[in-house]
Amino acid sequence: MTVYDYSMSTVAARAGTEVDTAYNSMGIPIYMTNNYLFDNVSGGAEACRSPEFGDCYTRVSNPTNNELGKAMASLEGCEAGLPFATGAAATSTLALALLKSGDHVVCDDTTYSATNYLFSTLLAKYGVEATFLDFTDYEALRAAMRPNTRLVFFETPCNPTMKVIDIAEVAGIVKACGGAKDSGATGGDGAKDSGATGGDGAKDGGATGSDGAKDSGAEDSGSNGGTITVVDNTFSTPFITRPKELGIDIVMHSSTKYICGHGDAMGGILTGSRGLIDTIMDVGLKNLGGTASPFNSFLMLRGLKTLELRMERHCKMAMAVAKYLDGHPKIERVYYPGLASHPGHETAKKQMSAFGGLLTFELKGGMNAGVTLMDNLKLCALAVSLGEANTLVQHPASMTHWYVPEEARRASGITDGLIRFSTGLESTDDILTDLEETLKLV
Ligand SMILES: Cc1ncc(COP(=O)(O)O)c(C=O)c1O
């Protein structure tokens, strides 16, 4: 029995505490090393073939990174987990490892900008076609599935309109639609040989996460034998939503956000079956190199210790702010899944244990009113990103979504007056007072 066999609260609080057998330190050591000393040539030869036999080179395997993978796998209810340098690196590595020319991707129409660009533009250059649609339209989703659909990707709740997608419904549709049954999902031939660290070999081992049954990526390339479902669970974290339990194959995180929690380290994480994660490591990470810094993995493990408590606090403040703004005469509309008026409220109740720390709202005075508010807030900080101790406000139309053509922006609900609000860990009363005082100027 290890710490990862306990309940989620214990796993998060104790992750990494069993690693240091040399000195029994309670904190996990930060293994800032690029390489590892071999006892002899045959030991080195084995480690270079697979992390199962030992660490060889940190791009592929590192004890601090491995521990973060194990912890996140346990929290998401998955067999294995793999950290990356950023969330964007996690998504792009997954896509390049699992897709090949001729494959088809179905993606929700509201995903993080880099995710959308990857599927709409970058992968199109290499013969991967993508269909974008609103995943709350189940008929449209069903109709979009093709025999060569390899990947179905979505986030929930979606930035910035807080659309909530029914995870179990999507997983069920993908499963029912069948799809290609061959093993092409794991990429082209010969892609698995990394010059720096050795060639093919057994593809399991400590490098990619927790214990459990080990299967081949090809065989378990998706719940229907061919199509792999991926949920970006960044906004919820496993303490609010556990997509794997709802039928999803891979859970992705930008750990830059709530997992880190302090706004001081970037990271990404994928969790899934041993076979899929090993394939993504062996075909993708090993050759593409978007590896997490062990120092950042240490910070993520530290973040996990308080994740549950922080999420409770973020969610509580978000609910209070949403209710306050919802009744305010200068506010046109509030988007928060916790409000009964939100279109995704019933779905959110089904699959979320709380409603998250993010909300968006529109002022009656549109863009000018929004600028006045954001330029005058004293405590809420004007900055992008989310999931930190600071409450953050930003203006999607001019900041995070400036490059989206106006028509497309409006179609996805991003009006010029929309403001995104990421609740921090300050006193809710102080934040409400900041809002109240500043709204008087609008
Ligand atoms: C939902 C979501 N997914 C993925 C990403 C990309 O993560 P990163 O910035 O860590 O590359 C972000 C970044 O904001 C995000 O909000």
Q: How far apart are CA 200 and CA 78, in angstroms?
A: 24
Q: What is the pLDDT along the chain (442 residues), one digit of tens a residue?
A: 999 999 999 999 999 999 999 999 999 999 999 999 999 999 999 999 888 889 999 999 999 999 999 999 999 999 999 999 999 999 999 999 999 999 999 999 999 999 999 999 999 999 999 999 999 999 999 999 999 999 999 999 998 889 999 999 999 999 999 643 433 344 433 333 333 333 333 333 334 444 333 333 444 444 445 999 999 999 999 999 999 999 999 999 999 999 999 999 999 999 999 999 999 999 999 999 999 999 999 999 999 999 999 999 999 999 999 999 999 999 999 999 999 999 999 999 999 999 999 999 999 998 899 999 999 999 999 999 999 999 999 998 888 888 778 888 888 788 888 999 999 999 999 999 999 999 999 9
Ligand 1 centre to CA of 182 (Å) is 31
Ligand 1 centre to CA of 417 (Å) is 23
Ligand 1 centre to CA of 421 (Å) is 16
Rg over CA atoms, the chain? 22
Q: Per-residue DSSP letters for 249-297?
A: SEEEEETTTTTT-SSS---EEEEE-HHHHHHIIIIIIHHH--BPPHHHH
Ligand 1 centre to CA of 251 (Å) is 13
164, 252, 280, 203: which is closest to 49 by C-alpha?
203
Report the length, in residues, of the chain: 442
Q: Are 367 and 374 in contact (CB under 8 A)?
A: no
Q: Phi and psi for 420 in degrees, rounded to 5?
A: -100, 140
Substitution candidate for ligand 1 out of 256, 291, 392 with most atoms within 8 A of CB:
256
Which three-class secondary structure state does DSSP give residue 413?
coil
Beta pairing class for 418-422 and 358-363: antiparallel
Substitution candidate for ligand 1 out of 254, 260, 358, 394 with most atoms within 8 A of CB:
254
Q: Mapped to the 3 state alphabet, what secondary structure does 36-64 carry?
A: CCCCCHHHHHHHHHCHHHCCCECCCCCHH
For residue 272, list its beta bridge partners. Answer: 80
- For the chain, list the domains and their CATH numbers: 3-301 (3.40.640.10), 307-439 (3.90.1150.10)
What's the whole-model pTM score? 0.91
Q: Give the Å distances, CA to CA, from 265 to 84, 219, 234, 254.
A: 12, 35, 15, 11
